Amino acid sequence: MSTDWKSFQPLLIPKIPNLHKIDVYEKNGGYKTLKDILTSKDHTPESVTNTVKAANLRGRGGAGFNAGLKWSFMPKPDGGPRYIAANGDESEPGTFKDRQIFEYNPHQFIEGSIIAGYAMDITAVYVYIRGEYRSWINMFQKAVDDAYAKGYLGKNICNSGFDLDMYVHSGAGAYICGEESSLMESLEGKRGYPRVKPPFPAQKGLWGRPTTINNIETLANVPLIMKNGSEWYTSIGAKTHPGPVLYGISGHVNKPGVYEYPTGMLISDLINEVCGGMRGGKKVKAVIPGGSSTPPLRGDQLDGVRMDADSLREAGSMMGTAGMVIMDEDTDMVDVLWRISHFYHHESCGQCTPCRDGTGFLEKTLIKIKNGEGETRDLDLLLDLCTQIEGRTICALADAAAWPVRYTITRFREDFEKRVKKSAFALA
């Protein structure tokens, strides 16, 4: 890590009081980057895209795809409307970072969206916010209204001739609508069923028009990159996965919360230094690094594991949304897994067979084990069912449902074996 995390000053949510007010944001240099880009001759849409691409800004919504590269997939403008759908659905258990942006630094996200809009010649940005975030939707709507009043949104932004509208859209309580293609369906007023790809959103997205979907936090990073350059940005945090990240840490730590630090933080540092250690000085049993769908890591295998895509892949998990759940040694992994499976069973949209019925099968089998009626063969059955579900559906929710089951059982098998009877015969 090239920067010392202890001296790191937050960039996404700087410690400036009342930053959510547009005057304060402007006073602290806000919207200046935007004005520069829109008015100076040095910047073209291509150069903005290339800078973001060079900064290797990886999506903060879970998949970790290079945002600039994603932008470059958009076809050439043909005069028709083009959209950005900003994903603030944030429904994955353990994830609660975007709402901090809506509450404390909404204008940086708005500025980032406008820059992205300029880079891709966008007509309108739809900000899709989780329906349960009612107060945050109201807060953010206020910020959008302010930006309109100051002329940062609407027609002829900063007298540059560039027009962009921003609409705030409230979700209706479905996890699946955080999946990019069902988010688009939901925005179109339809049932939140993921779409089959191809066609990809960049070819045929909202209302059949080119669309890019970015996470809120991803877009909030854009003004930083444009202001300070891609080289500066790549110097923050892990080499292959640079930049500041909002770590949403929950669970059995002394000081849970959202912390902003560079990527590539040691998980042990996050637990012990940032969050003040484990509650009651207990041992770490398990860490879910990036929201409930990412495979959990064992507490005794955390040495040297850092919060970036490469290190976590090596350790057998994923960065996800950096919504970390820390569990201590008293945790029963059967209960944890049942709760996670219950969530995915409840939230499956029901479009594809393996997920619709498979998630129910998983949960019902886990309830059986939880109630002490399970047998060893049920564990094998669960693993077999995961094979039947993974990679067999339109969207990645089935994977998200199957991975925790597979990896919790394989990594914490002793917890499960304690709860099950020995099978009289093995499952074929």
Q: What residues line the site for other proteins (CB under 8 A)? A: 174, 191, 193, 196, 345-354, 356-361, 364-365, 367-368, 381, 388, 391-394, 427
> Rounded to an integer, what distance in angstroms lies between the CA atom of residue 398 and that of residue 345?
10
In the complex, the smallest distance separating the C-beta of residue 364 from other proteins, rounded to whole angstroms, is: 4
| Shortest Å, Cβ 337 to other proteins | 17
Closer to other proteins by CB, 147 or 369: give it: 369
Closer CB to other proteins, 161 or 189, in the complex: 189
Residue closer to other proteins, measured from CB, 36 or 380: 380
What is the C-alpha to C-alpha distance for residues 361 and 386, in angstroms, rounded to an integer? Answer: 10
* Count, residues in the chain: 428
d(CA 25, CA 32) in angstroms, rounded, equals 10
- 404 burial level (CB within 10 Å; 0-12, 13-18, 19+): buried
Shorter beta-carbon distance to other proteins: residue 252 or 377: 377
- What is the nearest approach in angstroms of other proteins to the Cβ of residue 345? 7
Q: How is residue 338 written in tokens?
A: 């049942």
Task: Pick between residue 115 and residue 174 the one whose CB is nearest to other proteins.
Answer: 174
Closest approach, Cβ 400 to other proteins, in A, equals 14
Q: List all residues 6 or more positions away from 348 whose beta carbon is below 8 Å from its beta carbon.
A: 176, 355, 356, 359, 360, 397, 401
Of the two residues 130 and 285, which places its CB atom closer to other proteins in the complex?
A: 130
Nearest approach in angstroms of CB 74 to other proteins is 24
Q: Does the bond joining 106 to the residue before it have cis omega, within 30 degrees of 0?
A: no
Residue 21 DSSP symbol: S
**What are the DSSP calls for 173-235, one per residue?**
S-GGGGSHHHHHHHHTTS--PPPPSSSPTTTS-GGGS-EEEEEHHHHHHHHHHHHHHHHHHHT
59: left (phi over 0), alpha (psi -120 to 50) or beta: beta
Of the pair 87, 348, the CB lying nearest other proteins is at 348
Cα 274 from Cα 387, distance rounded (Å): 38
CB of 117 vs other proteins, minimal distance in Å: 31
In the chain, how long is the greatest CA-to-CA distance? 78
Shortest distance in whole angstroms from residue 363 CB to other proteins: 9
